[in-house]
Chains A and B, each alone.
Chain A
Amino acid sequence: MAKYIVKRIFGAVITIFIAATITFLLMKFVPGSPFTSEKTNEIAEAALNEKYGLDKPVYVQYGKYLNQLIHGDLGVSYKIQKNVPVVDIIKQSFPVSAKIGGIAILFAVLFGVPIGCVAALKRGKVLDGIIRVVSTTGIAIPGFVLATGSMLLFSIELKWLPTYGLDKPSSYILPVFTLGFYPMCYIARIMRSSMLEALGQDYIRTARAKGMTQFITTFKHAMKNSLIPVITYFGPLVAYTLTGGFVVEKVFNINGLGRYFIKSIENRDYNIIMGTTVFLATLIILMNLVCDILYKVVDPRIKLDQ
């Protein structure tokens, strides 16, 4: 097990390096610079480029960046928060996103899994039909529609919940709901189909023949067998949700990490683009490792070392 994890971490370093390289090159191919705007003149722009080393050839900049990266330094922001280290930006904004994201994931799993199970148990009945319609709709509705729609209904029309910020516990409800609704529906759907498959297996009949109640056969025997597809989806879900949803953070005006993904690209804030990308890549790789270990926990037939 330990050997396996070491091996995976070694592989992760290489993956992060490749991700960083591709992002760096793509970024440099995109025209424009952080300092290009209508107001700046050419002399000022050249001076700024020189100050941050952006006048050097790409390979020199690349080498310099990698060297920084190895030392855990992600550079400073050029534009969005001038001269603030990217590490500090992440440190400050990630916890905000992670908190909402974490609750949203919890919401998605705690509701998605049982809802999927119930749908499978009531296959073909009215309840199953309702769950299927709702979950398919949930997957089809774009995030911004859900965010603005729910805000319109609950905050503006009914005045139950605040429209922005995170100062009260009740202000978490809408962001968490909009962030977690899609994964919840998705989990419910995959849970339903894998559960249906599990419920048709011979070992379910064996469990029933042993005198197990329907509750035990469903939630012990069938559920553990049908979790694998959910775990597969879970890894990337956690990484993306923890780093924040751009739409949700924008609509509800939350100072999380999510907004930086788009803002940094709009502003050609090179170091933030690199910083957020490398951070997300690392998180995804880490979550994939966690998932692979979870597979083993759920299904003893899976061998990690091969």
Chain B
Amino acid sequence: MAETNNQSLLSVNDLEVSFFTYAGEVKAVRKISYDLKFGEVMGIVGESGSGKSVSSFGLMGIIPEPGKIIGGSIVFEGRDITKMSEKELIKIRGKEVSMIFQDPMTSLNPVFTVGNQIDESLRKHTELNKEQRKERIIELFKLVGINQPEKRIKQYPHEFSGGMRQRVMIAMALACNPKLLIADEPTTALDVTIQAQILELLKELRNKINMSIIFITHDLGVVSEICDKVAVMYAGNIIERGSIDDIFYNPKHPYTWGLLKSVPKINADEHERLIPIEGTPVDLINPPQGCAFAPRCEHCMKICLTKKPPVCQVGENHEALCWLSVKEEFEKEASK
């Protein structure tokens, strides 16, 4: 495992992102906070529409129209990204913070060679001359495991397979040695064997170049494979966060329980069924007054419907956003 020192690279505080649509304000991210240290890998899990991608687009200031950061701060190396001008942001994107995306088939521009597309980033962010840049690209291709790099850099994206394109995307993201890599479901669009290869590659890279990674996914297996800590998102909130062990062995939020129960197990009995989380996610134009998960929660109490649960410290670096944890705390206090 890579070394993590205690300095904080990124700290997100009460981040709020809304999309201003014709139907109304969609509150996609509702006050989330987390910290990320140098060299640390954090997973963000959650279902589609839970705000996991949008919150990370915010880290680069590339939230698509009509979305806007409406509150909170994103402090990256002591500077608040939300207060930066476009000019300052451009200097950070691709250099300090890089991103790889879900669908490698559409994320590369089809009409430029892959070499050109990586070169662009190097030209923008480094002082290297043409020869050095070419060398760097070849070096990157070797790093991400693309054979015959001299030949491959002159090819177009359509001449690459899906897994190879994702490698190109990773090479592109790593081009300027970013401090933070955001991987937005990098393996979702790939088949399982390629998925394993890409994960293996990311793990290897993280050990080699010691950068922090935010890994967005809805695949808990992937999270357990690569992350140090996890944040579980639901309806724009981080409803639970903690270390891998906390989340997998001692989950506190009913939603996390549900997520874990819906993962297929390799040692399951023949007739054992997966248990889905019943119901549908809430409408984020009109989020409920109480806990967003309450309507789907088996353990829902009266208070859950009327009052938003507070952040509850359930362990060292383990937090849950749930009245159950509050209740547990009270009971513990009472029994003392």
Contact = CB atoms under 8 A, between A and B. Distances in A.
Interface string A280-306: 000000000000000000111100000
B121 interface: yes
A203 B91 contact: no
Majority DSSP secondary structure for residues of A touching B: helix
B109 A211 contact: no
B155 to A, nearest CB: 9
Q: How large is the interface on A (under 10, 10 to 19, 20 to 34, 35 or more residues)?
A: 20 to 34
B20 interface: no
Given A209-B98, A211-B90, A203 B125 contact: no
B94 A209 contact: yes
A300 B156 contact: yes
Given A206-B101, A211-B93, A211-B125, A301 B172 contact: no
Interface residues of B, number: 29
Contacts of A300: 110-111, 156, 158
B34 interface: no
Given A202-B101, A300-B156, A211 B95 contact: yes
A221 B109 contact: yes
A195 to B, nearest CB: 14
A201 interface: yes
A206 B100 CA distance: 8
A298 B111 CA distance: 7
A219 to B, nearest CB: 13
B120 interface: yes
B124 A212 contact: yes
Nearest to B104: A202
A210 B158 contact: no
Given A212-B120, A224-B111, A300-B158, A205 B62 contact: yes
A206 B93 contact: no
Interface string B36-63: 0000000000000000000000001010
A207 B109 contact: yes
Contacts of A221: 109, 112
Contacts of B109: 203, 206-207, 221, 225
B315 interface: no
Contacts of B244: none
Contacts of B95: 211
B60 A209 contact: yes
Nearest to A203: B109
Given A202-B101, A301-B110, A301-B156, 16 more contacts: A202-B106, A203-B109, A205-B62, A205-B107, A206-B172, A209-B93, A209-B101, A211-B90, A211-B92, A211-B95, A221-B109, A225-B109, A300-B156, A300-B158, A301-B111, A301-B158
